[in-house]
Structure 1
Amino acid sequence: MAAAAIRARLDYLVTSMFTTGMLDENFQQLRSMEENGTAALGYVTEMINLFIKDTKRILNDIAGLLNQPVVDYDIVDVLVRQLKGCSYSVGAKKVNLSCMQFRRFYEPRSKERCLMALALAWNEFCEVRSKFEAMMQLEEQIAAYGPN
């Protein structure tokens, strides 16, 4: 498959991620920085990889806290704020929205509601991660063709 065809697939994937509300303008700003040279080549991929690693760790930490007999909701709140920051930094809008939902469930300090919110956050993360991984694979294929 020619680089132009792969580029078209990548553009379609990114457009569909915006259309479905998976991404917001923060992601576009990251891409623009890389495209206009204000960020190093590979910056977006690095940010995505950090997002994936950090989000997975945070979600696992929250799950561990919620599985304790007595939940420290203050630490859960700190972790949800970190998760919100991670998702905001790459424009992962659906994950960010799930954090806002989580905060609503955190307020009454309901373990059951927090577990439901955690499941939603995991689902949104898995969906975004899958699309990001597909995006990075397409970018690798394009890079294999060499400079434009």
Structure 2
Amino acid sequence: MLGLGACNLEVDMNRLIELLFHQGVLDEQFMQLQHLQDESSPNFVYEVVTLYFRESEKLLRNLRALLYECTDYKKMGIHLNQMMGSSSSIVVKHVQNISVRLYFRPQSSNWIGCIQSLEVLEHEYFYLKNKLHEFLQIEQQRVIAAGVRYHPLLQQ
């Protein structure tokens, strides 16, 4: 894929984003996030997405621990609020919608329903993570193919 020109990589990137739009995973606000990236902040999307991944995985671990250790539904609500907020910041529709459903589950003290909703949330999150990771890799290759110096963090 490295041999492809920057234009072909941009086409691949756009197809992936269109797929995620079509699936309802992302919406038009993600394009606005991309437009905030410019020469003065060439890694803006990468940084925002990476921060989202780091925080979301911590929140998911905490939610799972709360469900299995003490079923503290009040603390779960706090973590779910954080998950909904961070998901909305990068416009992750599926993750945000599932977080909302899980947020209201504990009010009925339905432990099995909470576990099932958390599993769906984790599944959607990891699907999103894989797709956005693919997007970031294509973006990195596109920038390299275009001859633009890219942030060293992306070359890890």
Query: Which deviates the most, 13-22 or 25-34?
Result: 25-34
Number of residue pairs matched?
Answer: 144
Q: Indicate if the aligned counterparts of 2:73 and 2:107 stay in contact, CA closer than 8 A.
A: no
> Aligned match of 1:10 in 8, 13, 23?
13
- Give TM-score, length-normalised by structure 1: 0.92
Q: Which residue of 2 aligns with 1:63?
A: 64
> Would the aligned equivalents of 2:26 and 2:92 in 1 still touch at CA under 8 Å?
yes
Q: Which residue of 1 aligns with 2:50?
A: 49
**Alignment gaps of 5+ in structure 1:** none
Superposition RMSD on alpha carbons, in Å?
Answer: 1.3
> Secondary structure of 1:40's match?
coil
Q: TM-score, normalised by structure 2?
A: 0.87
Q: Deviations over 1:29-75 (max 9, x none)?
A: 1112225x6x721111101101111111100000001111x311100
C-alpha distance after superposition, 1:77-124 (max 9, x if no partner): 000000001110111111001111102312202211111110011011
Q: Determine the C-alpha separation between the residues in 1 that align with 2:136 and 2:32.
A: 17
Equivalent position amino acid for 2:101 in 1: Q
In structure 2, the partner of 1:20 is 23
- Report the equivalent of 1:73: 73
- After superposing on structure 2, the runs of 4+ consecutive aligned residues of structure 1 that deviate more than 2 Å are none
Contact 2:37-2:44 within 8 A present in 1 as well: yes
Q: Distance in 2 between matches of 1:130 and 1:42?
A: 19
Distance 1:121 1:55 in 2: 11
Percent sequence identity is: 22
1:5 is matched by which residue type in structure 2? N
1:1-148 to 2 correspondence within 5 Å?
1-35=4-38, 40-68=41-69, 70-145=70-145, 146-147=147-148
Q: Please, which runs of 5 or more residues in structure 2 have no aligned partner?
A: 149-156
- State how far apart, in whole Å, the 1-side matches of 2:103 and 2:37 are: 33
Q: Cα distance, 1:132 vs. partner?
A: 0.3
Equivalent-residue separation in structure 1 for 2:130 and 2:107 (angstroms): 31
| Separation (CA, whole Å) in 2 of partners of 1:6 and 1:126 | 23
